[in-house]
Amino acid sequence: MINVALGGATGRMGRMVCDMITKSDDMKLVGAMIAPTEPEVGTEIYKNVIARGPDGLDEVLENADVYVDITSAAAASNVITKVPAKGINMVIGTTSIPDTVIQKMKDEVTKNNTSAVLSPNFAVGVNVFWKMCESLAAVLKEYDIEVIEAHHNQKIDAPSGTAAEAVRRMTKVTGINDVIYGREGMTGARKKEICVHSVRCGDVVGDHTVIFAGNGEVIELKHRANSREALARGFVASVRWIHGKKDGTVHNMSEVLGL
């Protein structure tokens, strides 16, 4: 049995992952951390699981084998560097965490010989989408590249972690280092750049489009998430994959999926 603690247990994604864990045959939810302002703090939100605020981290992790973080960048920054010292593996899906925090977390994982999975997106299709972005950009180096991402009106960061990862991979294979975000005014002729556009509206789960244009033709690569279930299943698969590993390494979703 894999004992799982989850940060962000009352969020939309957190609730879905918690439900999958409690319904599985090989996992047990043993801890839940939520924002200190949430009304559920101190209450039983699942059978024998009391929701704790960040100051109750020790209680949340007390019986855990794996800690899953689906919180905010600020909340995650205060937690993920502390977990490895407790000998607990991690699955981290929170985006926009500062690079300095990520590096410190990696150092702690290595120091304490634990393991983690870190990814901006845990959906199988998105990880294949990233691979295709990388492959097309490597071949179409002279083509113009535009990235358009759309999410619901409650998403607080932009661009999305999924779009940022696509851009990171494409800049690596093309050598294009000039990345801009939106356009306005007299911008002049297009430079050798990748431009990212963020849309926030309604209840859009997540749409990502990468446009490659040049030589009288256009290729559009698109991924659309119709449900958060695809992400939740990726989290659960990552928990199973990372459980028991103690290699001092931070892994990515491509490794989990064998890509």
Which entry of 151, 208, 223, 243 is annotated as an active-site residue? 151
Say how far apart CA 79 and CA 54 lie, in whole Å. Answer: 8
Q: Is 200 helix (H, G, I), strand (E, B) or coil?
A: strand
DSSP string of 52-77, one letter each residue: E-GGGHHHHHTT-SEEEE-S-HHHHH
Clarify whether 155 is annotated catalytic.
yes
Return left, alpha or beta for 167; rule: phi > 0 is left, psi -120 to 50 is alpha, else beta.
alpha
Clarify whether 23 is annotated catalytic.
no
- Strands 2-7 and 66-69, by their bridges, are parallel
> Which residues are within 8 A (CB) of 207 and not within 5 positions of it... i.e. 6 or more apart?
148, 149, 150, 151, 199, 222, 223, 224, 225
Say how far apart CA 15 and CA 232 lie, in whole Å. Answer: 9
Which letter does DSSP use for residue 206 in this model?
A: E
Which entry of 86, 104, 141, 155 is annotated as an active-site residue? 155
Could you tell me what percentage of the chain is helix, strand and coil, using 3-state DSSP and rounding each to the nearest 5?
Answer: 35, 25, 35
Q: How far is CA 231 from the centre of its chain?
A: 9
Which residues belong to the active site?
A: 151, 155
